[in-house]
Structure 1
Amino acid sequence: MNAQAKTQTPITQKHIDFYQENGFVQVDNMLTPEELAELRGYLEEAMQTESDRSKSTDKKDGSYYRVLNQKVNLWRDHAGMGKYSFHPRFAQSAMKLSGASGMRFFHDHGLWKMPGDSKATPWHQDTPYWPINEADAGMMSIWITLDDVNEDNGCMAFVPKSHKLGKLTGIDLANPQNIFDFVEGGQSAERKPVIVPLKAGSCTFHNGLTFHYAHANVTDKPRRVLAIIFMPDGITYNGKEHLVTDGAGLTAGQPITGPRFPLLAKTDV
């Protein structure tokens, strides 16, 4: 694959318009078949690696127990994962969708919903869990599935336009509250969730404020996903503890920068 093909984004104006209006968008065939096969091997190896650099968050009595197997900062343990976590095609796509002038990496995470006994991931926003000052930061996630996904094995669902409702209270994923109870005046009542089945190698992008949910996995095989969080350049740190920013030498009130949070895409202007 030549360099141009590697960096070329599949994002069209139609994708951008849909994302800006609804807070999420589906993008088919983000990975080539060769990339899909390679990433499956890398993710398998990375998820099995024991390390103090990456963090597993699915321990018993933890917030993700039996919801999903999650491992954060896989790139710090596996150079192959770094190839995809910092992939220019993903970052360029995120920048185009968001309209930001520059896009930084925040973290990656492997998300496995194990067969048979996993719970659904309840409705939530992502932004309340991130140690940032901005309420409407424009931070976003790409969610790349390595398996065909549907309602039986953990595909995603989104509430269109919910990113316009603002930053609400964070949800306890193990003992979830109803996020819709935090919406004043029933503003989301008319916004029906959209279920998004995907073919392996395809993805969704969603805003950190968008309400989203993942179905339980009731099949006999794991559902494997790589998710990467991007942040517009200039987002500032609020000083709170977070497994991604701890030990990174950040200063409260200052932009999140440094070797763990590289600028992956920027406009030519």
Structure 2
Amino acid sequence: MSQMVTQGLLKQEQIDFYRQNGFVQVNDVLTSEELAELREYMDEVMGADQGMSLQTDQHGGAYYRVLNQRVNTWRDHAGMARYTTHSRFAEMARLLTGASGIRLFHDHALLKMPGDSKPTPWHQDSTYWPMNEDGALSIWIALDDVDENNGCMMFVPESRRAGKLNPISLSDPQDLFQYAEGTGHDQSQSVICRMKAGSATFHDGLTFHFAHANVTDKPRRALAIIFMPDGTTYSGKSHAVTNGQPLEKDQPIRGGLFPLLARGV
């Protein structure tokens, strides 16, 4: 691990921070050239009318006001696939978690649209994922500068220790902190992550997080990639990415749609 850290992927203090708090901000994960390229690829894939990716809601829908989202863009666009399956990001996830290997679960291109935008309410990601084990995490790569005006993220440190709570509807949200009452984790502890384009956050699937509304006149663009430790098993829960796939309950999630992207030495 120390060799990879010294190669510039992560600093030891970033790994330590993630393991303590369940999230970490990592600046400049993309070069300026990569940022320009990924913006171009995302514009192309978000403008497509059909393909193997999933558009979660249409213009005017309640969810669209929170997020204009397309899942598994890597299946439609070779350029997106280069970034979604990039070993650099997967190895960073492996170093943060200490997993022996990291597999892809899915990507999602996220546009928080201008105008009638809504906040992304406080929630935990893992409540939606069909996984028996904890430990899956997301990288959230900002393709625009982000702050409170256009939808930057906030996290509650150490909140994954509260365990898996009830899922939250993003379009008709409940108050996550009502479910978290008595756990010692509340909104007053939250940390805001303002970032320059090309920077990223990683967060554990159990970490409480939130994104502000976009009150600017331009979409806020981000690419999120969900990684899971190799050996993570399928719970059998319905999920758009796993429905119809040849997965067996309580057996490892693997195969062509869930490739192994990083492996420890």
Q: Counterpart amino acid of 2:238?
A: E
Distance 1:238 1:62 in 2: 30
1:160-193 CA-to-partner distances (Å, cap 9, x unmatched) read: 1101110000001111111011124251148511
Match of 1:181 in 2: 178
Distance 1:224 1:249 in 2: 33
Q: Counterpart amino acid of 1:195?
A: I
Match of 2:264 in 1: 267
Match of 1:12 in 2: 11
The 3-state SS of whatever aligns with 1:40 is helix
The 3-state SS of whatever aligns with 1:45 is helix
Correspondence 1:194-213 to 2 at 5 A: 194-213=191-210
Q: Give runs of ≥4 in structure 1 deviating > 6 Å.
A: none
Unmatched 5+ residue regions in structure 1?
A: none
Does structure 1 residue 23 correspond to structure 2 residue 29?
A: no
Distance 2:183 2:246 in 1: 42
Correspondence 1:45-84 to 2 at 5 A: 45-59=44-58, 64-84=63-83
Offset at residue 132 of structure 1 (A): 1.2
Percent identity among equivalent residues? 61
Correspondence 1:48-197 to 2 at 5 A: 48-59=47-58, 64-134=63-133, 137-189=134-186, 192-197=189-194
Offset at residue 246 of structure 1 (A): 1.6
Q: Counterpart amino acid of 2:258?
A: F
Match of 1:251 in 2: 248
CA RMSD across the alignment: 1.6
Distance 1:190 1:200 in 2: 26
Distance 1:118 1:190 in 2: 21
TM-score with structure 2 length normalisation? Answer: 0.94
Unmatched 5+ residue regions in structure 2?
A: none
Whether the 8 Å contact between 1:57 and 1:63 is mirrored in structure 2 is no
1:10-52 CA-to-partner distances (Å, cap 9, x unmatched) read: 2111110000111100000000111001000000001111224
Structure 1 residues 106 and 63, CA gap change in structure 2 (3 angstroms): farther
Whether the 8 Å contact between 1:133 and 1:253 is mirrored in structure 2 is yes
Offset at residue 9 of structure 1 (A): 5.1
Offset at residue 247 of structure 1 (A): 2.2
The 3-state SS of whatever aligns with 1:185 is coil
The 3-state SS of whatever aligns with 2:197 is coil
Q: Counterpart amino acid of 1:69?
A: N
The 3-state SS of whatever aligns with 1:65 is helix
Offset at residue 89 of structure 1 (A): 0.6
Aligned residue pairs total 260
